[in-house]
Amino acid sequence: MYFSTRVSDISLAVPAPAPSRIARRLQREWPAAWGAAFLLVLVVAALAAPVITGYAYDAQDLDRTFQAPSRLHWLGTDQYGRDIFTRVVYGARISLTVAFSAVAAEAMLGVAWGTIAGYIGGGLDNALMRVVDLFIAFPSLLLAVLVTGLFGQSLVNIVVALTMTAWPGMARTIRSEVLVLRDRDFVEAARALGASTRWVTLQHLVPNIVHLLAARATLDVSVLILTEATLSFIGIGVQPPRPSWGLMISDSFQWLQSHPYLVIVPSVILSVTVLSFNLVGESLAGWFDPLRGPNR
C-alpha cells in the first residue's frame, strides 16, 4: 500500500546506535548493566529451577531444620527443614510469572484504553478517562487487597489484582503521548491519504509509543513484584506451600530474633530484584528521553 509509511522511514525513530556507542553507554550506566545481568541470571535460574536443584520446594525434613549453608543445602534450611535455595528459585518463578503476566495484561489494556481515548477524543475520551480517574482515586494496594481478599488467592486472581492496580496509570501515560502524536505531520499525512482509524492506530501510533511502553512496563514490573510480595506478606497473596519471597519473609518473621538469616535471604533477593528492574527501567526511560537520548 502506497501510504504505508513506516516508522523506520521517518527520522523520528531512534537511530540504531553503533556497537561502540552501546559499549560506552553500558560503561557509563554500569548500575543498569549490573541490574540487567542479575535479572538475566534470575530468569534463567527460575526457568531451570527443576534442573539446578534436586529438592522439592515443599519437602520438609524436620531432622534438619535451621541448617547453615552447606554443600547439601547451598543456602541452608528453614524452620521446616526445607531447602532455602530451592524455595528462593521457585519463589522467583512464581514472582516473575505473576508480575510478567500482570504487566502484559495491564500494558495491553492500558495501551488499548489510552490509544482509543487519546486518538478518538471527544465524549468517548471523557468517558474512558473518568473510569481511569475512578480507579486512580482508589488506593491501589486497597484495590489489590480487596480483589484477592474477596475472590480468593489463586495465582490468576493475584494477576488480576495487580493488573487492576497498574492499568489506569498506563492508560493515562499512553493517552497523553497519543494526544501529542495525533497532531504530528506523519499521522495527519496518513489520515489525509485516507487511512482508517484502525490503520493509523496500529501502524503509526502504537509503534511510536513502544519505547515509552518498554520503559514504563519495566518500572511497573518492579512495582508489581513489590505489590505481590506485600500481598503475600499480609497473607492474602500466594498461599503456602507455594513459595513466594513475601510469604517466606512473613513465615520466618517470628524467627527474626533467633534466626534472622531466614528473613535476610529472601529480603535481599526480593530487594535486589526490584532494584534491578528499577535501574534497568530508569535507564530505558533515559535512553528514550529526547533531552538525554542515546546520542548525547
Partner 1 sequence: MARYIAYRLALVVPLLLGAALLVFVAGHLAPGDPVQVLLGDHYNPQTAVKLRHDLGLDRPMATQFVLYVWKAGHFDFGTSYVNPARRVNDIIRQTLPVSVVLAALAVALAAAVGVAVGVVGATHPRSASDYGIQAAVILGLSVPSFVVAAVLVLLFALHWRLFPAAGWGGWQTRVLPVAVLAAAPLAYIARITRTSVIQAVSQDYVRTARSKGLTSSTVLIRHVLRNAALPIVTIVGMAFGYAITGAFVVEVVFNIPGMARVGVDAILQRDYSVIETVVLVYTALFIVINLAVDLSYVFLNPRVRY
Cis peptide upstream of residue 243 (ω within 30 degrees of 0): no
Nearer to partner 1, 131 or 192 (CB): 131
205 neighbors 20 (Cβ within 8 angstroms): no
CA separation for the pair 75, 72 (Å, rounded) = 9
Please give the single-letter amino acid code of residue 186.
F
Nearer to partner 1, 132 or 170 (CB): 132
Nearer to partner 1, 139 or 293 (CB): 139
Q: Which spans of this chain sit near partner 1 (rule: CB under 8 A)?
A: 133-134, 137-142, 145-147, 149-152, 222, 226, 229-230, 233-236, 246, 249-250, 253, 256-257, 260, 263-264, 267, 270-271, 274-275, 278-279, 282
Nearer to partner 1, 31 or 81 (CB): 31
Q: Could you tell me the three cell numbers for 61? A: 525434613
Nearer to partner 1, 162 or 178 (CB): 162
